[in-house]
Amino acid sequence: MAEEILVSAAASLTDAFERLGDRYAKQQGVRVRFNFAASGALVQQIRAGAPVDVFASASPKEVDDLERAGRLEPATRADFAGNRVVLIVPVGAKKPPAGWADLGAARRVSIGRPEAVPAGRYAKEVLESRGLWGQMQGRLALAANVRQALAYVASGDADAGIVFATDVRAARGRVRVVAAATPGRDHDPVRYTAAVVRGSRALGPARRFVRFLAQPDARRILADFGFTAPPGASRA
């Protein structure tokens, strides 16, 4: 009987994980299905008892939340990637913001909803560190996940957006990066963290999938999609 695992993964991992899943399936003979959404939304689903085997979050906060709720196998936690936070504008926009300082003049800026979307939380940190958060109120279109924030910019319906550097390739040719935030100064370093969900009925394959994320094969695929190595220190 072919085994199968369900991986709930951050929306920003969509393209990279689909390829990663294929690779893992070939190596291990285990079918991998994905449920992509905002990390915060995935937490709520798993808390509610969704039959998920692995949780892969775009930030450790969501993993902490699930761990506190007793829904994870804490020993399986592992950081597996990093990312950059960038400011994007639609290609072909007439007077696009040229940098963070211009955001004050933008009509609509899309970011993920900070309470549920890690990219949105990082975006909020950037705006706060640059003293822009207050004046952006009422002009921030809060997206349900980072890819939606990207789509608002790609369609030209938002003047700018704050997303992960890796998201840009999912809308290649329709958005361009005008500025990158400085990790550590503008926001907490982006740290992708995965763990096995407590109660998984495929514990072995789930464990192996989390371990696989740190192996050279997976690292190479993640790097192909623009992810960096996980930021150093704290957890390894």
Partner 1 sequence: MNLDPVRLSLLVAAAATLLVVPPGILAAYLLARHRRFPGRAFVETLLSLPLVLPPSVVGFGLLMALGQGTAFGRWLNDAAGVRLLFTWQGAAVAAAVIAFPLFVRTASATFASLDPEMLEVGRTLGASEPALLRYVLAPLAFRGLLAALTLAFARALGEFGATLMVAGSIPGQTETLPLALYAAVQAGDNEGALAMAAGLTLVAFLALWLVGLYTDYLAGRQGER
Instruction: Confirm or reject binding of residue 115 to partner 1 (CB under 8 A).
Output: yes
Instruction: Confirm or reject binding of residue 132 to partner 1 (CB under 8 A).
Output: no
- What type of residue is 19? R
**What's the min distance (Å) between Cβ of 147 and partner 1?**
14
Instruction: Confirm or reject binding of residue 44 to partner 1 (CB under 8 A).
Output: yes
Question: Which of 12, 76, 83, 110 is the binder for partner 1 (CB under 8 A)?
Answer: 110
Q: Measured from the CB atom, is 30 or 140 closer to partner 1?
A: 140
State residue 85 phi and psi, 5-degree precision. Answer: -105, 125
Instruction: Confirm or reject binding of residue 141 to partner 1 (CB under 8 A).
Output: yes
Q: Which stretch binds partner 1 (CB under 8 A): 2-10, 53-61, 96-104, 133-141?
A: 133-141
**Two structure tokens written together for 1:** 């009987």
Q: Which stretch binds partner 1 (CB under 8 A): 49-57, 77-85, 112-120, 184-192?
A: 112-120
Cβ-Cβ contacts under 8 Å for 216 (sequence gap 6 or more): none
Instruction: Confirm or reject binding of residue 19 to partner 1 (CB under 8 A).
Output: no
Sheet holding 140-143, edge to edge: 140-143, 109-112, 160-164, 85-90, 175-180
Instruction: Confirm or reject binding of residue 156 to partner 1 (CB under 8 A).
Output: yes
Cβ-Cβ contacts under 8 Å for 46 (sequence gap 6 or more): 8, 52, 55, 66, 71, 197
Q: Which stretch binds partner 1 (CB under 8 A): 131-139, 163-171, 179-187, 196-204?
A: 131-139
Instruction: Confirm or reject binding of residue 192 to partner 1 (CB under 8 A).
Output: no
Instruction: Confirm or reject binding of residue 174 to partner 1 (CB under 8 A).
Output: no
Contact 32, 25 (CB under 8 A): yes
**What's the min distance (Å) between Cβ of 41 and partner 1?**
5
Instruction: Confirm or reject binding of residue 153 to partner 1 (CB under 8 A).
Output: no
How far apart CA 16 and CA 224 sit, in angstroms, is: 8
Contact 225, 84 (CB under 8 A): no
Q: Measured from the CB atom, is 62 or 84 closer to partner 1?
A: 62
Q: What is the DSSP string of 177-215?
A: EEEE--BTTTBPPEEEEEEEBTT-S-HHHHHHHHHHTTS
Distance of CA 141 to the CA centre of its chain: 18
Question: Which of 142, 178, 180, 203 is the binder for partner 1 (CB under 8 A)?
Answer: 142
Contact 3, 16 (CB under 8 A): no
**What's the min distance (Å) between Cβ of 221 and partner 1?**
29
Binding interface with partner 1 (CB under 8 A) = 38, 40-41, 43-44, 47, 65, 90, 108, 110, 113, 115-116, 137-144, 152, 155-158
